[in-house]
Each structure stands twice: as C-alpha cells, then as structure tokens.
Amino acid sequence: MKGLRVLRAGPQTLLQDGGRQGWLHLGVSPAGPLDLKAAAWANRLLDNPWGTPLLEIALGDVELESQVDTWLAVTGAELPLRRDDEPLPLWTRFALRAGQRLKLGFAQRGQRAYLAVAGGFRGEAVLGSVSCQHREGLGGHGGGGRALQVGDRLLCAPAQFRQTASLPWPYRPDYSCSPVLRVITGGDAAEFAEDELQAFFAQAWQLSPHSDRMGARLCGQAIEPPRRQWSLGVTRGAIQVPPDGQPIILQADHQSMGGYPILGWLHPLDLSRLAQCPAQQALRFTPVSVGDAQAQLRQFYRFFQTA
C-alpha cells in the first residue's frame, strides 16, 4: 500500500486516533488528540468514522509528498497550507494527487493542526490503538511511541470525492481571543478554604511554557491546597493543586494515579480550546454544573459518533 512520504516532520507530529481506552487500571494513559473538536471535524469532513487515525501537528512546519490519489482535510491551528504552490483553505477537504506535495507552514494562531486522510492512516495498533504516547513508548508510527521523522511513509488507501466540502465560518473556533474555560468543581473542592476557591476563579492565570501533553501548568497567585496524604485515580481534565499552589490541568497523556488535591475538572469540550493556547496565554475559569456539561458532551458525541 502506498501513502504519504514525510519530507519535513515539524517539531512534533504524532499519529493519533480516538485514544487507548480501558487500560488506566494498568497505568496506561489513553493518549489521543488534545483538541477533540478539531480532530473530529477533520475526520467528519472526509466521512471518516469517529476516532479514525490522523495526524496531530504541533506548531506546523510539515511537508508531505503523496504517492497516491486521495483526499485530505486540515483543521485546528491557523497556518499557511499549500498544495505544491497553490494556497488551500483550512477546515475544507481537498484532493491530493500522486506526486503532489502538501506544505503546512508555522502556526499563526493556535498550536495544533489536525490532518486527516480519507479512510484514515494505517498504523500498528498497540493495546487497541495507534495513538502515540511517547512517555510509555506506545503507538505512533511503527508502534514504538515516536513522533514522525523525515523519510517515514504514512500508509493510506486511494480515495475519491465528487466535490469539496467545508465547515461554515460560524462553527470555526477563534483562537485569537483569551478564553474563559468552564470548570466542574468537585473532588476535594469542599476541602479548600472558600477564599482559596474563589481566588482560583477570580484571577487570570497564565499557561506555563513547561506545559505538555501530560499536563497544562498554570502560573499565577498561588492558592493554598488542603492537605492530602493518599493517592487516587485521576482522569483527563482533572485540576490538581500541588503544594506550590500552581494548578495543573491533566491532559491526554496524564498519569493514572495522583496524590495532589483535585479542585475539579475542566469541561471536556473546553480541553480542546486549552490545547490551542500558546505559552503565556491568559486564562480565566468559570464554574459550570455537571448536568450542563453532561448535556453538552452528549450532544457533541451524538453528532460525531453517529456520523
């Protein structure tokens, strides 16, 4: 089977699918795309099922040469996109013929772009998923948990559509503004002093440059966590508060256990917006009820998983 040959791999380009589910009890994180919305739309534009393997491209600077006639879609971060010397729009599916090159420049807004191909990229599944998890050496190209490198070949099948399709402008996210992210308070929230909990929501935090796919670290006026002397299972979106009072929001490659007090959980759909924030981005948070978050998440999955 032919596919796309990697001519330039960018700072970090990872093969991801819907995630490695069902292994947290053995210490294996789920991985998967950081921006669920952009990844879902990239596949939806190509009529791919939910979780079809695609590329997560951090910061851009990727060049691919096609060895097959196929169709692709690129969503997420705003970056220059060219087919040979022809500019292409984002959030749109387009044809790529054998011998043509696709070039993604550096991101101008947002942090991660998602490149999907019709029918999905082929990869070696590890524990039921091709999602790349570098820390544990799982998934990705070749199954060893590494990012793409120059010379890699991404296998995919030929595909044909009759016409292009685009996501309408009103549905495209705006990565230029400072976001207000919704938080479901819970976990150890009742153990925090009331003024410390209010301080979390009252101030503007900054996203630390030390953030990664394991956790988004916040910088601001420290809040004092309650004392805790035991560990428990953690999930993506959990907001941990370590002794230094600088919260950490767990991301897709999070650990399975943690001992820091948990203030609450970021709304699952707002994890996508967080994934597109650059270092030093100002972030604010606002409470949301469990019921509202559940209803919105059900609507999201109902739309994409029944496509």
Domain boundary among 151, 171, 191: 171
pLDDT tens readout for residues 259-292: 899 999 999 999 999 999 999 999 999 999 999 9
What global pTM score does this model have?
0.95
Q: Average pLDDT in the 54-79 region?
A: 97
Token pair recorded at residue 294: 């559940």
**Residues 159 and 11 occupy one common structural domain:** yes
Instruction: Please give the tally of structural domains in the chain.
Output: 2
pLDDT tens readout for residues 118-155: 999 998 899 999 999 988 889 888 888 899 999 999 99
Q: Pick the range with the lowest mean pLDDT from 55-59, 60-64, 252-256.
A: 252-256
pLDDT tens readout for residues 206-233: 999 999 999 999 999 999 999 876 788 8
Residue 306: pLDDT band by 50, 70, 90 thresholds?
low
**Residues 51 and 194 occupy one common structural domain:** no
Three-state DSSP class for residue 41:
helix
CB contact set of 150 (below 8 Å; sequence gap of 6+): 6, 7, 8, 9
**DSSP annotation of 253:** T
**Residues 131 and 251 occupy one common structural domain:** no
**Residues 221 and 167 occupy one common structural domain:** no
